[in-house]
């Protein structure tokens, strides 16, 4: 009896923690395809206050300031009269570009981790009486507390996924709205990602900020794709913000297809045969304009239709085996040492990948901007999209699992209609132990529940035993493919040792090398044995390519690390790194290193054989 009570008490405590976590940082359900709505951009210059002691949030007794506290930084900084004391103030002299990270905009911010308060004043003209209003953020790294005209709209955790809050109609003014966002990018052990990463912790409002105006009843989310194992049958669903009694019309004009459905509730599913669908592929990335509308709400999208599945040892795209000629990419523009955020940034990065003859990109190690996945749709690049469950997070902590699931849900919700995405990844290089495997297995199950049309994976662990690369990570039982990161010749031995490596893979699934690479300072030359030289990296890639050609038939692709050099505070060699991870095939200025041409030659050979 006592044992049962203790078990029940422990279970209720965990349940309460999860409930408190999910409700303390809740927001309105995510509105998908935000740019198809009626929106006003709040991008531009925002004034800021740097607040490392969080003075604007806590009083001197370290208690949270109340809503009416005049010294709270979410309230006006303007004195009421000449005797009024104000100890904070926003000024145009201190401003930051939004979207953008703060680290690259002023030298004092380069390594800064802490709180910055952003403020933007704006006017808003309501388009239609009775509409609803939402404040949408593409991403804020890491925690955002959002206030409008002195009222808190809500909080969000997660540095790479979108969120939105509903704005009460009575709160949104026609003139002089006072919007404040407290941004905190500090790292914590119980967050996702955790304290230890190998990329720059860019802080700030890093993606678009919009006000969306929608009808009282509106289309919240939808899915439209090919039914598995078919080439001419589509299926999907449309979800509304509230139950409706209305006629829904879905139309693809170029295919001369229209379907009308009576909706009685907040969600409706459908399927239909459509003649003449041209399937999306890297060789021909066909996108169709889709119209979804009711009497009072209409949105459009561009959607491609394709199938992706595993059959035995191979990955099949549209009924044909596909070899993934990949490359890893960080969401960073190295020429300016900043976070990428615009369509132009996405085009630059993805065209660089295409110049390598890649047909696939691994977006590491977090969900990238929506511009990246939409651009991949247009350019014809397959995508591996990942949440930042990276290295050693707190796998035994139920709160951390909730955070990871939230980020997974936000990633999939935003991008489920992007044909380019073929793999949802739930993490990278997580250490093997029971709690970790249980944690990761739950994420894989959640990914399949949210979207069963794609492959699910993770970068698994691999270890060397007497020259044999052994892949027996127990998580491999639950993934659709066996993906591992290997750096033989850089972190283990010299490139000459690659010749003798054998592989022992426990699982009969497609085998994918999700990372491999060697570091070099662009322009530094020596013989092939000279570490950090372009010649060493070139030798490394030549030996890797030779090994790829010896791998068994289940070898289904590779995404070397990495397209461009990128910032990392872990990399502190004063001559060859200086705060940069220089494993890129392109350097800080976009110049191609010698190894670029080795990989491109290999990819060109594969392309000629498979096209």
pLDDT tens readout for residues 182-232: 999 999 999 999 999 999 999 999 999 999 999 999 999 999 999 988 999
- Single out the residue of 367, 350, 370 nearest to residue 359, CA to CA: 350
In Å, how far from its chain's centre is CA 139? 9
**pLDDT tens digit sequence for 114-172:** 999 999 999 999 988 889 999 999 999 999 999 999 999 999 999 999 999 999 999 99
Residue 458 has pLDDT above 70, yes or no: yes
pLDDT reading at 23 higher than 90? no
**pLDDT grade for 1, boundaries at 50, 70 and 90:** very low
Q: Where are the domains of the chain?
A: 25-214, 222-303, 310-610
Strands 115-122 and 44-50: antiparallel
Digit-coded pLDDT (tens) for 223-243: 999 998 899 999 999 999 999
CA distance 433 to 437: 6
Residues sharing a CB contact under 8 Å with residue 533, sequence separation 6 or more, in sequence order: 520, 521, 524, 525, 526, 527
The pLDDT of residue 198 is: 96
Q: Strand, coil or helix: what is 40? A: strand
Question: pLDDT band at residue 429, thresholds of 50, 70 and 90?
Answer: very high
Say what the pLDDT of residue 465 is: 87
**φ, ψ for residue 86 (rounded to 5)?**
-125, 130
Q: Residue 85 has which token pair?
A: 């004391």
What tokens were used for 319? 């009924």
Handedness of CA 464, 468, 474, 478 (dihedral sign): positive
Bond preceding residue 475 cis, omega within 30 of 0: no
pLDDT greater than 70 at residue 4: no
Sign of the C-alpha dihedral computed for residues 452, 453, 458 and 463 taken in this order: positive
pLDDT tens column, 75-105: 999 988 999 888 999 999 999 999 999 999 9
Give 137's contacts (C-beta < 8 A, 6+ positions apart): 144, 146, 156, 162, 163, 164, 205, 207, 208, 209
Structure tokens at 530: 């000279």
Q: Is residue 24 pLDDT above 60, yes or no?
A: no
17: helix, strand or coil: helix
Per-residue pLDDT at 495 exceeds 60:
yes
- pLDDT tier for residue 409 given thresholds of 50, 70 and 90: very high
pLDDT digits (tens, 9 = 90+) for 244-293: 999 999 999 999 999 999 999 999 999 999 999 999 999 999 999 999 99
Report how far residue 225's alpha carbon sits from residue 250's, in angstroms, rounded to the nearest whole number: 13
Instruction: Give the dihedral of Cα atoms 224, 229, 233, 239; nearest 10 deg.
Output: -30
CATH superfamily of 310-610: Glycosidases (3.20.20.80)
Q: What angle do CA 270, 274, 277 make, to 5 degrees?
A: 120
The reported pLDDT for the residue numbered 610 is 82
Inform me whether the pLDDT recorded for 344 exceeds 70: yes
| 308-312 average pLDDT score | 96
pLDDT of residue 14: 42
Q: What are phi and psi of 545, to 5 degrees?
A: -60, -40
- Computed over every residue of the chain, the mean pLDDT equals 94
With 0-12 / 13-18 / 19 or more C-beta atoms within 10 angstroms meaning exposed / middle / buried, residue 491 is exposed
Q: How far apart are CA 128 and CA 188, in angstroms?
A: 44
Q: Which pLDDT does position 194 carry in this prediction?
A: 96
3-state class (DSSP) for residue 169: coil
CATH code for the domain defined by 222-303: 2.60.40.10
Q: What's the token pair of residue 168? A: 């009460």
With CA atoms as reference, report the closest residue to 367 among 387, 382, 346, 393.
Answer: 387
- pLDDT value of position 263: 95
Tokens of 418: 């992007």
Give the single-character DSSP code of 258. Answer: E
Pull the structure tokens for residue 512.
Answer: 């994918």
Cis peptide before 142 (omega within 30 of 0): yes
Alpha helices in 380-465 (DSSP H): 398-415, 434-450
- Please list the residues that pair with 98 across neighbouring strands: 44
Model confidence at 11, in pLDDT bands (50, 70, 90)? very low
For the chain, percent of residues with pLDDT exceeding 90: 91
Tokens of 472: 């027996």
Task: Quickly tell me which residue has 């976070």 as its tokens.
Answer: 339
Pairwise CA distance, residues 611 & 609, whole Å: 6
CATH superfamily for 25-214 is Galactose-binding domain-like (2.60.120.260)
In this prediction, residue 489 carries a pLDDT of 96
| 463-465: strand order across its sheet | 463-465, 468-471, 502-505
């Amino acid at each position: 009896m006592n044992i049962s009570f203790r078990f029940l008490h422990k279970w209720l405590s965990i349940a309460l923690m999860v409930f408190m976590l999910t409700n303390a940082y809740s927001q309105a359900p995510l509105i998908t395809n935000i740019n198809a709505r009626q929106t006003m951009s709040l991008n531009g210059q925002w004034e800021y206050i740097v607040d490392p002691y969080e003075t604007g949030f806590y009083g001197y007794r370290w208690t949270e300031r109340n809503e009416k506290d005049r010294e709270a930084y979410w309230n006006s900084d303007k004195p009421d009269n000449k005797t009024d004391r104000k100890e904070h103030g926003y000024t145009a002299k201190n401003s930051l570009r939004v979207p953008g990270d703060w680290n690259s905009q002023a030298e004092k911010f380069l390594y800064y981790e802490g709180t910055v308060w952003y403020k933007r004043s704006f006017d808003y003209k309501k388009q239609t009486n009775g509409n609803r209003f939402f404040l949408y953020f593409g991403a804020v790294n890491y925690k955002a507390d959002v206030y409008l005209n002195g009222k808190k709209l809500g909080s969000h955790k997660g540095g790479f996924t979108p969120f939105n809050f509903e704005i009460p109609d009575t709160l949104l003014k026609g003139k002089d709205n006072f919007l404040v966002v407290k941004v905190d990018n500090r790292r914590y052990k119980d967050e996702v990602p955790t304290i230890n990463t190998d990329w720059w912790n860019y802080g700030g409002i890093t993606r678009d900020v919009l006000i969306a105006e929608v009808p009282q009843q509106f289309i919240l989310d939808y899915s439209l794709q090919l039914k598995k194992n078919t080439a001419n049958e589509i299926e999907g669903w449309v979800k509304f913000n509230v139950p409706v009694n209305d006629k829904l019309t879905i139309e693809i004009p170029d295919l001369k297809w229209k379907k009308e459905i009576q909706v009685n509730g907040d969600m409706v599913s459908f399927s239909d045969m459509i003649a003449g669908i041209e399937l999306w592929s890297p060789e021909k990335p066909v996108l169709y304009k889709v119209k979804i509308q009711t009497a009072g709400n209409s949105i459009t999208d561009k959607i491609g239709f394709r199938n992706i599945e595993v059959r035995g040892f191979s990955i099949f795209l549209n009924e044909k085996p596909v070899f993934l000629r990949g490359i890893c990419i960080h969401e960073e523009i190295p020429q300016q040492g900043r976070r990428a955020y615009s369509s132009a940034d996405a085009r630059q990065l993805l065209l660089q990948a295409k110049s390598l003859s890649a047909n696939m990109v691994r977006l590491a190690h977090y969900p990238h901007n929506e511009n990246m996945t939409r651009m991949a749709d247009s350019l014809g690049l397959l995508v591996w999209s990942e949440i930042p469950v990276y290295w050693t997070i707190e796998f035994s902590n139920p709160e951390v699992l909730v955070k990871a699931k939230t980020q997974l849900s936000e990633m999939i919700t935003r991008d489920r209609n992007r044909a380019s995405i073929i793999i949802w990844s739930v993490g990278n290089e997580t250490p093997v132990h029971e709690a970790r495997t249980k944690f990761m297995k739950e994420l894989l199950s959640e990914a399949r529940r949210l979207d069963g049309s794609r492959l699910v994976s993770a970068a698994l662990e691999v270890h060397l035993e007497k020259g044999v690369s052994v892949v027996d990570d127990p998580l491999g039982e639950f993934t659709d493919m066996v993906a591992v990161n290997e750096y033989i010749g850089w972190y283990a031995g010299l490139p000459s040792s690659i010749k003798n490596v054998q592989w022992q893979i426990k699982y009969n699934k497609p085998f994918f090398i999700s990372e491999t690479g060697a570091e070099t300072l662009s322009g530094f030359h020596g013989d092939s044995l000279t570490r950090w030289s372009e010649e060493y990296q070139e030798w490394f890639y030549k030996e890797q390519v030779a090994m790829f050609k010896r791998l068994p038939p289940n070898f289904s692709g590779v995404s070397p690390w990495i397209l461009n050099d990128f910032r990392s505070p872990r990399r502190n060699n004063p001559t060859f790194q200086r705060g940069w991870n220089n494993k890129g095939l392109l350097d800080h200025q976009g110049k191609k290193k010698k190894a670029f041409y080795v990989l491109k030659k290999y990819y060109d050979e594969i392309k000629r054989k498979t096209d």
